Structure 1
């Protein structure tokens, strides 16, 4: 079992540092070079990594990791679509499905509102964790230190203590909201889709800021929280 854990740790470290050599990986992981070398050999034979070239052997991740991620993402999309459609029908607004990736959430699916006034975000766009409803919904379930918070608008929460308090409130009520914190013309509420080890995605209802007064925000928050819970249960 420990050999498997070591190999997975080495794979993650290669992905973070690529191209990376044995010595660099060993120092980063705190493992003996011989252990790292064995893991690299196993990962190479299994097709997960390949030599990056150069005088000293350095390693990089192959497309196999991306293929697995895509298959996982497609499964998430398939499960999410009926939940997203029901949420769109109940609200008449745009529904977003995002997944955490590093210090951001990435939009992987959306269902658009039929209303003429809308805000369209392209698939693949990255939104900051601390300045978006989807991001805060995810961040509230992560044990991650909060520091260096850039401002995007006048309402972006940039004080670490204030953000920690906001995330505690998100965790308590079950959903996060965005009051023009990334773009002043966008309002949203979002809830995390949880797996066994934490958040795997987030669902949101997104509208022009003028279309989400406080009373509606609370109503939408309850709806998106239930939708995210339904999706979490379907994936269990």
Structure 2
């Protein structure tokens, strides 16, 4: 373990008990040298984890931001999992849940299919927002300003032979998907795999996650996708409603 990091975290832990502490009080409670405490406090202030009010220190806004993100993501997983299991029972396809983390999507939950031929996706996997139905649904339904900034800066790197790396083609695909209310991909993240995804919204009407069904490409023909979309939208609507999204039984897109 990195002792400096551990000591800094122990210092932060003090503020779960005390609202404000002076430098001398922190020294007394941690029993660390004053110079060491001062350096850690300065570093924590620079990164926004602490702020100074007069002679005392208190928790900074960075912790609030992290706390909100963790709470939001954990809530999505908790609410989504039983509904994902229902969707798997209705479709017998693997069901994935992703959230945005920086410029990437991270798979935070999955329910596996019982089909002998399946597409393997592990929890914790990361993917760029432009590739694959589930990551791209996050990109499709983010704010226009945020979307534009992302598309202007991202380097479109091929992951498979079918990954979309033409910027104009990607923009057109996003616009079309937004009108339809769902995204589709074929062999963009893994060869011979397909996915269909829909957005999940929170109480502010912001997209916070993507819900998808995934399977072998030969099963995901147009007629089959048309059957999957209403089921996906219905389940995403249930999750969104549980997160405080104001809407009907299904998410209206």
Sort the TM-score into its range (normalised by shorter chain): 0.7 to 0.9
Q: Which residue of 1 aligns with 2:251?
A: none
Shift of 1:141: 1.4
Q: Which residue of 1 aligns with 2:177?
A: 170
Unaligned runs of 5+ in 1: 1-18, 26-35, 50-60
Task: Answer with 88-97 or 204-213: which moved more.
Answer: 204-213
Structure 2 residue 59 is matched with structure 1 residue 47: yes
How far apart, CA to CA, are the structure 2 residues paired with 1:65 and 1:168?
Answer: 31
Structure 2 residue 195 is matched with structure 1 residue 188: yes
Residues 48 and 65, structure 1, Cα contact 8 Å, conserved in 2:
no
How far apart, CA to CA, are the structure 2 residues paired with 1:215 and 1:45?
Answer: 61
Structure 2 residue 95 is matched with structure 1 residue 95: yes
Q: Which residue of 2 aligns with 1:199?
A: 207
TM-score (norm 1): 0.72
How far apart, CA to CA, are the structure 2 residues paired with 1:220 and 1:193?
Answer: 16
How far apart, CA to CA, are the structure 1 residues paired with 2:51 and 2:137?
Answer: 36
Structure 2 residue 156 is matched with structure 1 residue 149: yes
Q: Which has the larger radius of gyration?
A: 2
How far apart, CA to CA, are the structure 2 residues paired with 1:21 and 1:66?
Answer: 15
Query: What SS does structure 1 have at the residue aligned with 2:106?
Result: strand
Residues 88 and 111, structure 1, Cα contact 8 Å, conserved in 2:
yes
Which runs of 4 or more aligned residues in structure 1 lie more than 6 Å from their structure 2 counterparts after TM superposition? none
Aligned residues: 191
Residues 45 and 60, structure 2, Cα contact 8 Å, conserved in 1:
no
Task: Answer with 212-221 or 106-115: which moved more.
Answer: 212-221
Residues 51 and 58, structure 2, Cα contact 8 Å, conserved in 1:
no
Q: Which residue of 1 aligns with 2:85?
A: 85
Residue 156 to residue 98, structure 1, CA distance change in 2 (3 Å): same
> Following superposition of structure 1 onto structure 2, how do residues 99-114 of structure 1 map, counting pairs within 5 Å?
99-114=99-114
How far apart, CA to CA, are the structure 1 residues paired with 2:107 and 2:58?
Answer: 31
Query: What SS does structure 2 have at the residue aligned with 1:183?
Result: coil
How far apart, CA to CA, are the structure 1 residues paired with 2:200 and 2:181?
Answer: 11
TM-score (norm 2): 0.68
Shift of 1:93: 0.6
Residues 92-127 of structure 1 show CA distances to partners (whole Å, capped at 9, x for unaligned) of 010001111111111111110011111221111111
Unaligned runs of 5+ in 2: 1-42, 245-253
Aligned partner (choices 220, 241, 250) of residue 233 of structure 1: 241
Structure 2 residue 229 is matched with structure 1 residue 221: yes
